[in-house]
Structure 1
Amino acid sequence: MKKLALIVTILFTATHICAQKIGVVDTNYVLSKLPQYKEAENRLNTQISQWQSDLQTLQAEYERKREAFENEKVLLVGEQLKLREKEVTDMEANIRNTIGGRFGTNGEINQLRSNLTKPYQDQIWNAIKTVSTKNSLGIVLDKSNNISVIFLDKKYDYTDAVLNLLVKTLPKEEESKNNNTRPGVINKGKNSSSPKSKINNMQKKSAAAESAAELKISN
């Protein structure tokens, strides 16, 4: 009896899912077509480039200090030896803290990336909801969110519909420029979630930068 009930439940669920009209939206594509988002992303990338340059400067200075200490420590004694050794270890700790604080999984880069998408999340969600209601969609998949779509009939792709609706509701580009912070600086705000693929890509880049920098220190 229980087995029969389970089969009925599975069949009912499958029938219900099949009865739902499914649509697909590529949120990454939508974001890439918003001038305001692209401008903010450029400012973020400028900030990241500056931080990478600063880190390279710190690493170069650390290598110079460490090499000098290794060459001269046989001549150093007592307090002088301790001071020089502490200087090198403090610089190494500073670099590791900088890598973790800015390029780590929970570092400033990922926080700024999340804040970057925050102003557009609600608008994208509302646009998807409006398009879903208009087209009687029961399920909407995000094509950019690690969803493998082998084949998609164009009539089920509502990306352009969401983008067109979103463009109409967002402020004009000129108004957005007036409200933006100065170039190269992103305001920090309360952290929030963003389209997963954006965050995942940033985490992969941050993790790679962190690993590369730590490897350089250890060598």
Structure 2
Amino acid sequence: MRKQILFLFLTLNAFFSLAGQVKGPRIGYIDMEYILQNVSNYKEAQNQLEEKAIKWKQEIETKKNSIQKLVDELKTEKALLTKELIEEREAEIHYLEKEVLEFQQKRFGANGDLMQQKLILTKPVQDQVFTTVQDIAEAKQFDFIFDKSSDLTILFAAKKFDISDQVLRVINRTEKREQLTKKQQKNLEDKENKEDALDENDTLKERQKILDARKEEREKILADRKQLQEAKKKEFDDRRKKLAEEKIAKKNSSTSSNTGTEKAANDNASKEKMQAAELARKKQGEEKQILLDERKKVIEDNKKALEEKRKKAIEDRENKKNGTVSEKVTTDVSKVDSTKIKIEEAKLKQANAKQKAIEDRKKLLEENKKAAEEKRNKIMEERAAAKKAAEEKLKSNTNKN
């Protein structure tokens, strides 16, 4: 009995060992279109090519519009033209239409510029993809790798055999390594090794997917909770603001009459005070003007007396025989008189300048007064408008309630 059990155990062990050694071919596939759309260099080149295509289409549309314009003109003027002119214009239109078709075929035909440049852009990326696929196949011992976007018909392919993301990741790694430091490259290699381990182990890969799904769900819950908190906070702020506005409106309505009376009394008092100050300044200016006029009159009288005295001295000099003494006295008198006249003229000039400064100051005060009055009126109008708006708002809130 023991021998039979031992024989059966050895037979099963040998069977499972052989089954483990014999395994089927390892197959994978890629999606070339998906890879190309996610390579940064290809996307930039594709955008440039699309811009060129749009520009070519605009050129074609412009030419077609020009031809259509010639056709419309021919229809309008056909009754007035001779047969030769009509045939000439029709030939010109036919030539232009043929030229547009040739240009369109040159740009967008099967062998046109668009297809040629697209092939030029696609070939380097395709070569890079083929090289990457070969490296992955050798490293991970794939027997077959197909292209899902090619003419090969694949009726069904499980997602776990798709290595497009691995190929794309290798291509992006190559581009990133050129711009990284040694420390960053080491961190990137650790991250890549972790990703490769996930790709090779289906269990770890599924576990990582579950963790990513849970993380995404948790972030969504947190975002919804934050949004709900913000909505509640906004609702609370709106309610508090509304209560504050109602309280202010109620306070304004209860104190509006008292405020208006006090405001009117304050305005009248300030107005009377400004008028009294203006009268005092005006009276002071008039008194200064009277003093200046009197002083001017005295200076003119002194000037007149000195002039008469000088004339009299000249006359005495002519009447007297002793001309030398008389002339000397006259000269001294004339010098004294001229000096006094100059002093009086200087004083008069100073007084005029002072009077002008007083007048300028008076004018400035009047302008400041006018500006202050306009500012006060503007403030009163704004207060009245604000009061009216508050009353209307309070009234509308009352009607709503």
TM-score (norm 2): 0.36
| 2-structure distance, mates of 1:79, 1:170 | 67
Match of 2:102 among 89, 97, 102: 97
The answer to whether the 8 A contact 1:26-1:143 is kept is yes
Query: Of the candidates 128, 143, 148, which is equivalent to residue 148 of structure 2?
Result: 143
Partner of 2:55: 50
Indicate the residue corresponding to 2:42 in structure 1: 37
Cα deviations by residue, 1:90-119 (Å, 9 ceiling, x for unpaired): 111111111111111111111111111122
Larger Rg: 2
Q: For residues 116 and 29 of structure 1, what CA distance do their matches in structure 2 show?
A: 16
1:158 is displaced (CA, Å) by: 0.8
2:145 counterpart SS class? strand
More helix by share: 2
Select between 72-81 and 159-168 the one with higher mean Cα deviation.
Answer: 72-81
Q: Secondary structure at the match of 2:92?
A: helix
What residue ranges of structure 1 are gaps of 5+ in the alignment?
Answer: 1-17, 175-219
Q: Tell me if 1:67 matches 2:77.
A: no
Cα distance change of structure 1 residues 79 and 116 upon mapping to structure 2, 3 Å threshold: same
1:110 aligned partner: 115
Greater CA drift, 26-35 or 148-157: 148-157
Question: What is residue 164 of structure 1 aligned with on the other side?
Answer: 169
Contact kept? 1:36, 1:173, Cα under 8 Å: no
CA–CA separation in structure 1 for the residues paired with 2:126 and 2:56: 27
Q: 1:23 aligns with which of 11, 18, 28?
A: 28
How big is the shift at 1:71?
Answer: 3.0
Task: Read off the aligned partner of 1:30 and give its amino acid letter.
Answer: I
In structure 2, relative to structure 1, the CA distance for the partners of 1:172 and 1:20 (3 Å cut) is same
1:160 maps to amino acid: D
Question: 2:86 & 2:138 partners in 1: Cα distance?
Answer: 73
Deviation, 1:70, is: 2.9
Contact 1:35 1:173 in 2 (8 A): no
CA, structure 1 residues 172+110, in 2 after alignment: closer, same or farther (shift >3 Å)?
farther
- In the TM superposition, residue 66 of structure 1 has moved relative to its aligned partner by 1.3
Give the Cα separation in 2 of the matches to 1:78 and 1:92: 21
Task: State the 1:153 CA deviation.
Answer: 3.1
CA deviations 1:107-162 (Å, max 9, x no partner) are 11111111111221211110011111122222211122255555433331111111
* Superposition CA RMSD, Å: 2.4
Give the direction of change, closer, same or farther, for the CA distance of 1:33–1:100 in structure 2 (3 Å limit).
Answer: same
Distance verdict in 2 for CA 1:74–1:171, change over 3 Å: farther
* Aligned counterpart, 1:128: 133
Q: Give the letter aligned to residue 40 of structure 2.
A: P
One-letter identity of the residue aligned with 2:167: V
- Secondary structure of the equivalent of 1:23? strand
The superposition leaves residues 39-85 of structure 1 with CA deviations (integer Å, 9 ceiling, x where unpaired) of 11000001111111111111111111112123323432265334322
Code of the residue aligned with 2:166 in structure 1: it is A
Q: TM-score, normalised by structure 1?
A: 0.64
Find the aligned partners of 2:178 and 2:116 in 1 and give their Cα distance: 24
Alpha-carbon separation, structure 1, partners of 2:75 and 2:178: 56
Give yes or no for contact 1:27–1:142 (8 Å, CA) kept in 2.
yes
* CA distance in 1: counterparts of 2:63 and 2:177, whole angstroms: 41
> Whose relative contact order is higher, 1 or 2, with alpha carbons under 8 Å and at least 6 apart?
1
Counting aligned pairs with the same residue, the percent is 30
Q: How many angstroms does 1:20 deviate by?
A: 3.1
- Residues in 2 aligned to 1:85 and 1:152: alpha-carbon distance in whole angstroms: 59
Which one-letter code corresponds to 1:102 in the other structure?
A: R
Equivalent-residue separation in structure 2 for 1:114 and 1:171 (angstroms): 25
Q: Is there any run of 5+ residues in structure 2 with no aligned partner, and where? A: 1-22, 180-401
